[in-house]
Amino acid sequence: MQEYELTVLVHPDRESDLEKALKTVRDLVTTNGGKIAKEDNWGKKKLAYRVARQDFAVYVLMDVELPAEAPLKISNAFNISDDVIRYLLVKVDSKERAKLEAAKKNQTEDEEE
């Protein structure tokens, strides 16, 4: 299983029932054999340019673990989804993540001293 960062832009009309849209995304990840390690809702933000005739979207970032065949299936499902207007699925380089976490830890220790 590989680590990925999944960022989804949920249609702003779904903001009132955001949990239903996010449940669809979560179910899509888990039914394809993946696990969600972390989820972070950034809230409704203005887009840099119009997407699907929308100026705003709800940003949600997820750290997920997926088997090799899952990213293609997830991409295909998002392409036909009405809830998600854009998504970005990026493979995480575990070496880089370890370096970033070590740097954060060192920074925190320096601030405490």
Q: How distant, in Å, are the alpha carbons of 27, 41, 48, 66, 110 from that of 7?
A: 15, 10, 16, 14, 31
- Distance, in Å, from the CA atom of 44 to the CA atom of 56, rounded to the nearest integer, reads 7
pTM of the model: 0.80
User: What's the pLDDT score for residue 113?
Assistant: 64
Quote the DSSP letter at residue 34: -
Residue numbers in the chain where pLDDT is lower than 70:
112-113
User: What's the pLDDT score for residue 83?
Assistant: 92
Are 1 and 67 in contact by the 8 Å Cβ rule? The answer is yes
User: What's the pLDDT score for residue 111?
Assistant: 72
**DSSP-derived 3-state class of residue 68:** coil
User: What's the pLDDT score for residue 57?
Assistant: 96
Identify the structural domains of the chain with CATH numbers, from first to last: 2-112 (3.30.70.60)
Residues ≥6 apart with Cβ < 8 Å to 49:
none
